[in-house]
Amino acid sequence: MKQILQNLKNGVTEIVDVPVPAPGRGQALIRTSRTLVSAGTERMMVDFGKAGWLEKARQQPEKVQQVLDKIRTDGLIPTMEAVFSKLDEPIPLGYCNAGTVLEVGAGITDLRPGDRVASNGPHAEMVCVPRNLCAKIPDGVTDEEAAFTVLGSIALQGVRLAVPTLGERFIVFGLGLVGLLTVQLLRASGCPVLAVDVSETRLKLAENFGAETVNLTLGGDPVATALAWTGGRGVDGAILAASAKGDEIVHQAAQACRKRGRIILVGVVDLNLRRSDFYEKELTFQVSCSYGPGRYDENYEQAGQDYPIGFVRWTEQRNFEAVLEAMRAGQMCVKELITHRMALVEAAGRYDKALHDPTAMGVLIEYPLSDQTKIQQVLPSPSSRPSPLKVRGDQGLAVGIIGAGNYARSTLLPALIRTKADIVAIADINGVAATHAARKFGAGKAISDYRLILDDPDIRAVFVLVGHHLHARFVREVLEAGKHVFVEKPLALNEAELSQIISFYLALGAQCPAMPLLTVGFNRRFSPHIIKVRELLAGRSEPLCMSMSVNAGFIPLEHWTQDPVRGGGRIIGEACHFIDLLSYLSGSSVATVSSAMVGGSGPIREDRMSILLSFADGSVGTVHYFANGAKSYPKETLEVFGDGRVIRMENFRITTGYGFKGFRSFRTWRQDKGHRAEIAAFVDRVSTDSAPLIPFKEIVNVTRASFAAVESAKTEKVISIAP
């Protein structure tokens, strides 16, 4: 299928062939009929992509500070690689979609193939949308009209926050699509409206919808007009639907309001609020969040957990439904707002021009109708040539990738293409991510159905890079397919998942003479710094005392890594790295675990934890995993004490020895956490049918120790790790 993408690095907008997305649980696969270009948001994305590096930095000063902090801790080159990788990712454009349901995932009972729906899907021939982000289109509303649903919901949410009552007077600044829809919704609520803009055409439309107008181009004064219009009292409320620099619009809105009036910001303006404006009149100011309650709540949007209607009357989806009903009833008219139509095939050439056309309002993209119901999941790579970064052998190891997220694109795939592996296929339910990764790293094809990788007899090894909650399931499926598997940490999120893998792996070993290899991405043990530390510790005469400090950085509660179901929490999901590292340095398994997390009643305490480990050889180690430190402080610091000597490793860049003869320090020109060495070693082991890269019992021991760390912190007990 075809989709419109924007490259933030060079500003190029293009139509790209990508795999059709596969609907997951709670999702609907929709064949698009029409999409509406949201000129304000999409123009901002395009202009940002075309801007130079200095202009990009100027527009996002907070990101610049993040880059500077990362340079201090990780070094210049890794930081620049991360920045360029992020900017090189294609961004799907559009979020106003109307089409027909082709297929529904498990858990959806109120949609069926053939239903017409409006959604926030992008500009693409096929889209996958969670149930709570789409609504049925009623009879009497065309697909063209329904494409305005999302923008109408943005306007509706702003109006809801203003709480208009019959007869109250409102001023609306900015008459783009959202502003004109706002005018109509206020008029439908029985409120006289004063509309302000610089465009005579848009002002004329507002007048047709029943508003009084102020033409700024002709010198109109919105404050004086508002006061005269209200008999000197001031308007009851102001809705700011404009996009403008400076705070003059907010100031004018405040001056135009009556005492205890309210101002709702729906657009984008600077917020250098003047205290006197709000103090003297006790004005209320509120920023409206997109489509309504549920926005940016993953439990609502992705997991499908609706809010009870008795407590949250209007959600994103219910706002969609209200807008569609307003269109059906004739209370919201959008046909008059359509100024441009273009076919998808010509969108690449006309899209940018339409975005910057001052006469453009509603720009609709039309999609070809097709009776094809068979979904093509496979996309040939645009070039059979390997990536220019690739250093291939004469006969590379055929591998498949499941998951094309940020870790895959920024870390694993750049390491993999420097090995003798040939990437046959990259699979992801996000077809854009799979396509971008396949094109960038020279894969044979991008697909949205991972089972095509499992069924391919030529593929010998599979890299599992999906969400943490899917690791255990995919490991079993890959092993069952008879293929070697590399899974990013953690192996499992709980003992039940781990026990299933152990039972399956042991049973498989009893049946298969040539046992598939299983490796978990414990990359730090492959860092040249850790290899140097092991060399320095060779021949030691006593157990080690080790301390690993991790300045993990704050992650908000709603982030998926903090979710015990999806991410497993940060100890199981990330601190397992450092448990494995200390176990590797001691050369023995974890025997007992005792942990403590910070006190208090905060929603997140687990990511501020000290973990005390004892090992079978008598060594001890602590992992201090803290999320409340400064970003400018080194993220990972290791100290090892023993035999009257000390080794200190800072951030995998500098290793310093104290008390060693002939050794003072070891430095690498860049931070090296061992990713490349680990991937190369795994490919080599599989290619040569060698022993496992990390013994299975070590993987199990470390995984159980991470479970024990969380349990110990909660129960305040010392936990022994079963063999």
Contacts of 65 (CB under 8 A, 6+ apart): none
Q: What is the pLDDT of residue 377?
A: 55
* Main-chain dihedrals φ then ψ at residue 382, nearest 5 degrees: -65, -15
Residue 137 per-residue DSSP state: P
Residue 551 CB neighbour total at 10 angstroms: 20
Q: What is the pLDDT of residue 387?
A: 41
Residue 200 CA to residue 604 CA, distance in Å, equals 53
Looking at the chain, the domain(s) classified CATH 3.40.50.720 span 156-287, 386-521
Secondary structure percentages of the chain, helix, strand, coil, to 5: 35, 25, 40
Q: Confirm if 704 and 574 have CB atoms less than 8 A apart.
A: no
The string of pLDDT tens digits covering residues 453-511 is: 999 999 999 999 999 999 999 999 999 999 999 999 999 999 999 999 999 888 887 67
pLDDT at 73 > cutoff 70: no
The amino acid occupying position 708 is A
Residue 505 CA to residue 513 CA, distance in Å, equals 13
SS3 at position 647 = strand
pLDDT at 346 > cutoff 80: yes
Q: Locate all alpha helices (DSSP H) within 338-488, ordered by sequence.
A: 344-355, 406-407, 413-416, 431-441, 451-454, 471-480
Nearest CA among 433, 410, 407, 412 for reference residue 423:
412
Nearest CA among 587, 576, 588, 655 for reference residue 623:
576
And the tokens for 30? Answer: 């929709």
Question: What are the DSSP E strand ranges found in 137-205?
Answer: 170-173, 193-197
Superfamily (CATH) of domain 524-672+679-720: Dihydrodipicolinate Reductase; domain 2 (3.30.360.10)
Query: For the chain, what percent of residues have pLDDT higher than 70?
Result: 89
Residue 168 CA to residue 162 CA, distance in Å, equals 11
Decide which of 66 and 532 is more confident. 532
Residue 360 CB neighbour total at 10 angstroms: 15
Residue 540 CB neighbour total at 10 angstroms: 15
> Out of 95-104, 355-364, 423-432, which region has the weakest mean confidence (pLDDT)?
355-364
Across-strand partners of 667?
654
- pLDDT band for position 528 (cuts 50, 70, 90): very high
Q: What mean pLDDT is predicted for residues 686-711?
A: 95
And the tokens for 16? Answer: 């790209």
pLDDT at 112 > cutoff 50: yes
Q: What is the pLDDT of residue 422?
A: 95
pLDDT at 231 > cutoff 70: yes
Fold designation for 2-148+334-366: Quinone Oxidoreductase; Chain A, domain 1 (3.90.180)
Q: What is the pLDDT of residue 507?
A: 86
Looking at the chain, the domain(s) classified CATH 3.90.180.10 span 2-148+334-366
The string of pLDDT tens digits covering residues 120-146 is: 999 999 999 999 999 999 999 999 999
Residue 432 CA to residue 448 CA, distance in Å, equals 10
Residue 487 CA to residue 196 CA, distance in Å, equals 57
pLDDT at 72 > cutoff 70: no
Q: What is the pLDDT of residue 336?
A: 94
Residue 41 CA to residue 43 CA, distance in Å, equals 6
End-to-end CA distance of the chain: 51
State the average pLDDT for the chain: 90
Residue 105 CB neighbour total at 10 angstroms: 17
Decide which of 394 and 259 is more confident. 259
Residue 23 CA to residue 37 CA, distance in Å, equals 24
Superfamily (CATH) of domain 156-287: NAD(P)-binding Rossmann-like Domain (3.40.50.720)
Compute CA distances 109 → 28, 58, 131, whole Å.
11, 48, 10
Residue 337 CA to residue 355 CA, distance in Å, equals 15
Q: What is the pLDDT of residue 349?
A: 76
And the tokens for 103? Answer: 């297929």
Q: What mean pLDDT is predicted for residues 707-722?
A: 95
Q: What is the pLDDT of residue 390?
A: 40
Residue 42 CB neighbour total at 10 angstroms: 24
Residue 275 CB neighbour total at 10 angstroms: 7
Residue 631 CA to residue 624 CA, distance in Å, equals 16
Burial pattern 477-491, b for ≥16 Cβ within 10 A else e, equals: bbbebebbbbbbbbb
Nearest CA among 6, 287, 348, 349 for reference residue 154:
287
pLDDT at 532 > cutoff 50: yes
pTM: 0.84
Residue 691 CA to residue 60 CA, distance in Å, equals 49
- pLDDT band for position 559 (cuts 50, 70, 90): confident
The DSSP result for 410-438, as a single string, is IIIHHHHTTTTEEEEEEE-SSHHHHHHHH
Decide which of 376 and 82 is more confident. 82
Q: Confirm if 521 and 490 have CB atoms less than 8 A apart.
A: no
Residue 332 CB neighbour total at 10 angstroms: 26
Residue 124 per-residue DSSP state: B
> Out of 71-80, 338-347, 706-715, which region has the weakest mean confidence (pLDDT)?
71-80
Contacts of 23 (CB under 8 A, 6+ apart): 29, 103, 104, 105, 128
Q: Confirm if 79 and 71 have CB atoms less than 8 A apart.
A: yes
pLDDT at 445 > cutoff 60: yes
Q: Confirm if 719 and 712 have CB atoms less than 8 A apart.
A: yes
pLDDT at 88 > cutoff 80: no
Q: What mean pLDDT is predicted for residues 279-298?
A: 93
Nearest CA among 528, 522, 526, 521 for reference residue 653:
528
Nearest CA among 139, 190, 200 for reference residue 163:
190
Nearest CA among 441, 362, 422 for reference residue 85:
441
Question: What are the DSSP E strand ranges found in 245-381?
Answer: 257-265, 268-269, 284-287, 338-343, 362-366, 378-380
The string of pLDDT tens digits covering residues 191-207 is: 999 999 999 999 999 99
Looking at the chain, the domain(s) classified CATH 3.30.360.10 span 524-672+679-720
Q: What is the pLDDT of residue 356?
A: 76
Superfamily (CATH) of domain 386-521: NAD(P)-binding Rossmann-like Domain (3.40.50.720)
Give the dihedral of Cα atoms 268, 269, 270, 271; nearest 10 deg.
Answer: -90
HEC profile of 213-230: EEEHHHCCCHHHHHHHHC
Q: What is the pLDDT of residue 283?
A: 96
pLDDT at 373 > cutoff 70: no
pLDDT at 335 > cutoff 50: yes
> Out of 97-111, 327-341, 347-361, 696-710, which region has the weakest mean confidence (pLDDT)?
347-361
- pLDDT band for position 591 (cuts 50, 70, 90): very high
pLDDT at 374 > cutoff 50: no
Residue 569 CA to residue 507 CA, distance in Å, equals 30
